[in-house]
Amino acid sequence: MTVKTILTEPNKILRQVSLPVEKVGNEERQLMDDMLETMYDAKGIGLAAIQIGVPKRIIVMDIGNREKEKEPMYFVNPIIKNKNSEHSTYEEGCLSVPNQFAEVNRPSTCEIEFLDYNGNKKILNASGLLATCIQHEMDHLEGILFIDYLSKLKKMMIVKKLSKQKNKIDRIIV
Ligand code: GNR
Ligand code: NI
């Protein structure tokens, strides 16, 4: 297992639409292992493959208590079967939008069909943080970031801040 570099906004790769996985094989499992290690290392609760530059429809998550045992979840080719017309608001963050947080409104519950780590078809009824997180991750598969839901001004301020931070880092390296 390897910790990979997480791409950050404004990197165009994050805007790619990810492609369905044909078969959950060893290559995909290796990718999921690396994604999970990268996610734990960055102290996140979810990660989509595109965040480490791989345009495949694969997500890993662990919304369990960090002090307790790990509870990894794997989603390959997830599809939303149903979503609640009732919405709820969560303060969201994203490993690809470091240190920025904002409230986002999403369906409060949803039903997801997906393939698990072993390629078996599963159905999950998600609510609460689980529902929010899976929808946030599935947005990544479409090249969508949570800042896309904010007002133009709020989004601009965040992107500008991140661009400045990136320039600083680049200057240090050069
Ligand atoms: O670590 C994360 N926390 C989080 C908090 C609220 C809503 C969504 C998330 S997902 C985020 C990790 C991430 O960027 N996944 O793509
Ligand atoms: Ni994210």
Residue-wise pLDDT tens digits, 35-77: 999 999 999 999 999 999 999 999 999 999 878 899 999 999 9
Q: CB 50: neighbour CB atoms within 10 A?
A: 26
Please count the structural domains in the chain: 1
Asked if the structure places residue 136 within a domain, the reply is yes
3-state secondary structure of 160: helix
Asked if the structure places residue 174 within a domain, the reply is no
Asked if the structure places residue 7 within a domain, the reply is no
Residue-wise pLDDT tens digits, 87-122: 999 999 999 999 999 999 999 999 999 999 999 999
User: In this structure, which ligand is nearest to the CA of 104?
Assistant: 1
Asked if the structure places residue 6 within a domain, the reply is no
Q: How far is the CA of 136 from the centre of ligand 2 (A)?
A: 6
End-to-end CA, the chain: 30
- Is the C-beta atom of 44 inside 6 A of ligand 1? yes
Q: Which CATH number belongs to the domain containing residue 69 in this structure?
A: 3.90.45.10
Range of the domain at 131: 12-167
Asked if the structure places residue 2 within a domain, the reply is no
- Is the C-beta atom of 130 inside 6 A of ligand 1? no
Asked if the structure places residue 114 within a domain, the reply is yes
Asked if the structure places residue 4 within a domain, the reply is no
My answer on whether omega of the bond before 10 falls inside 30° of 0, hence cis, is yes
Asked if the structure places residue 1 within a domain, the reply is no
Residue 164, pLDDT above cutoff 90? no
